[in-house]
Structure 1
Amino acid sequence: MLISGEKMDYVNINNLEIFANHGVFPEENFLGQKFLVSAKMGVDIRKAGLSDDLNNTLNYGEICQYITDFMKNNTFKLIETVVERLAEKMLLNFELLKSIELTIKKPWAPIGLPLETASITIKRSWHRAFIALGSNMGDSKAYLDNGLKSLNCDKIKVLKTSEYMVTKAYGYTDQPDFLNACTMVDTLLTPHELLDRLHEIEKEAHRERIIRWGPRTLDLDIIFYDKLIFEDDELVIPHIDMENRDFVLFPMKEIAPNFRHPILNKTMTQLSEQLSDR
């Protein structure tokens, strides 16, 4: 996982030439054209530099072949789609790859005007997120277990989960105790895509939003996403008031004691100790 502010090394490929069949016009799909692919790939190569072992870095010959095969074996109308799908596939298939800046150029773009290239560049990477889980209806342990299983997919890797803890209800207190936990994940999803996925998992667990802070089969909340500070009508990161919620802080302290709140500038250990003192 690429930590914000951490120095990253790069393996670069510049203008790999590939003849493939992508484009809006039928002749582009049928006749094909030349594409130039460049990739700036974030990877920690210090171990490779010290060991002189190819297994500790990205094999750029293998990378070039992978890109070529992907470009030749698929057909898309938009190079926006090509570059998005290729970046995702590379991040999923090369374990050492942490981030990628990918550019695809069309030197023969059919626009009828003098042009060197038309191109698309995107930057994509793995992101570290922390998610809180809670349940106080039915078999709460089963709901948390199944929620974690549903979370763990190709674009979300569950890395570490706290012990489950029983806590009193927060806000609306006239309801059964909760079973709570926090989990640490790496994800390729954006914050809103991750939120949508959490809502899908809650829906699978028959979550109903009737009373604010009311009983629920499964509640999933994004607590942190990298060191992001973000707010809109649907999502607030870091999660509002998490520093006053023992059912978030104590599980967070268990799995990431030294993770620092990007606004409060205190670690999970420091925040949990503050809460305990109160």
Structure 2
Amino acid sequence: MDKITIKDLEIYANHGVFPEENVLGQKFLVTAVLHTSTRKAGLTDDLTASVHYGEVSHLIKKIVCDNTWKLLERIAEEVAATILLTYPLVSQVDLTIKKPWAPIGLPLDTVSVEISRGWHTAYIALGSNMGDKEAYLKGAIEALDSAPDCQVTAVSDFLITEPYGGVEQDDFLNGALALRTLLSPEELLDRLHEIEYAAHRERIIHWGPRTLDLDILMYDDLVLDTPDLHIPHIELHKRDFVLIPLAEIAPWKRHPLIGKTVAQMLEEVKDKR
């Protein structure tokens, strides 16, 4: 990916832990590296095909000057999120916020915070087998798509499937969606749980009936195993009720561990029937 760099933008603002910093203010230096394709702009000399670094610089200044925060980390998060939400051509931002002569009682040049934030692609499985199943699934899709840090880019058709796990219950309505998001995997999991909770999801019986079930299937090409979250989903390659809708929206997506595409995994599941 190409990059546009704004280096050491000088901004006088009022941030810091000490009250005098918030009143007197001081200089901050901001470096922003914008990850974007410059190919079209380079071939056409068309400004609208690129990211206007002058506009971005003024946006950064406005964010930093119009607010007062204690931490450099807070400034960095706000600047990164605003740039990504304002400029669709930017896929990732690398930010460095420097604070010269930070008041720590010792001689130093600068203290700085560096972060990288960007858009990620996640695939989510949807399921419901209680109440108005279709309404629960559509409500979850709307809840994700209406959040500023999430964009639903594709949704599969819904299909009726038999319950999984041996618990006697009603048939499920299942689907899958593709999501463009600024959330980390852990933050996305929390967001999904919030949506499930709003749909009155109860976790009483393992593999039991539920108003709404939302699972992260894949997140970019990430491999993650924690006590609370496994990516890719451990059962992904075994479940036709997940692979069928996922193959509809991303048949080419490759499992980062198994190395097979969604379409290939679905064919293998079908062959084992």
TM normalised by structure 1 equals 0.96
Is this contact kept in 2: 1:33–1:108, CA < 8 A?
no
What is the match of residue 227 of structure 1?
221
What is the match of residue 5 of structure 1?
none
Is this contact kept in 1: 2:144–2:150, CA < 8 A?
yes
Question: Is 1:263 paired with 2:257?
Answer: yes
How far the C-alpha of 1:229 sits from its partner, in A, is 0.6
For 1:155-207, what per-residue CA distance to the aligned partner results, in whole angstroms no more than 9, with x for missing partners? 11110000000011111241111000000001111111100010000000000
What is the match of residue 21 of structure 2?
28
What is the match of residue 109 of structure 1?
102
Is this contact kept in 1: 2:101–2:107, CA < 8 A?
no
How far the C-alpha of 1:112 sits from its partner, in A, is 2.6
1:193 corresponds, among 182, 187, 198, to 187
What is the match of residue 154 of structure 2?
160
Is this contact kept in 2: 1:172–1:212, CA < 8 A?
no
2:126 corresponds, among 127, 130, 133, to 133
Question: Is 1:78 paired with 2:71?
Answer: yes
What is the match of residue 148 of structure 1?
141
Give the aligned length. Answer: 271
How far the C-alpha of 1:108 sits from its partner, in A, is 2.7
Is this contact kept in 2: 1:253–1:269, CA < 8 A?
yes
Q: Distance in 1 between matches of 2:243 and 2:201?
A: 24
5+ residue gaps, structure 2, are: none
Query: Secondary structure of the equivalent of 2:117?
Result: strand
What is the match of residue 38 of structure 2?
45
For 1:241-267, what per-residue CA distance to the aligned partner results, in whole angstroms no more than 9, with x for missing partners? 111111110111000010000011000
Read off the aligned partner of 2:130 and give its amino acid letter.
M
Structure 1 outlier segments of 4+, above 3 Å: none
Question: Is 1:120 paired with 2:113?
Answer: yes
Q: Distance in 2 between matches of 1:262 and 1:62?
A: 38
How far the C-alpha of 1:135 sits from its partner, in A, is 0.2
Is this contact kept in 2: 1:83–1:104, CA < 8 A?
yes
TM normalised by structure 2 equals 0.98
Is this contact kept in 2: 1:133–1:144, CA < 8 A?
yes
Question: Is 1:178 paired with 2:166?
Answer: no
Q: Distance in 2 between matches of 1:173 and 1:206?
A: 20
Question: Is 1:251 paired with 2:242?
Answer: no
5+ residue gaps, structure 1, are: 1-7
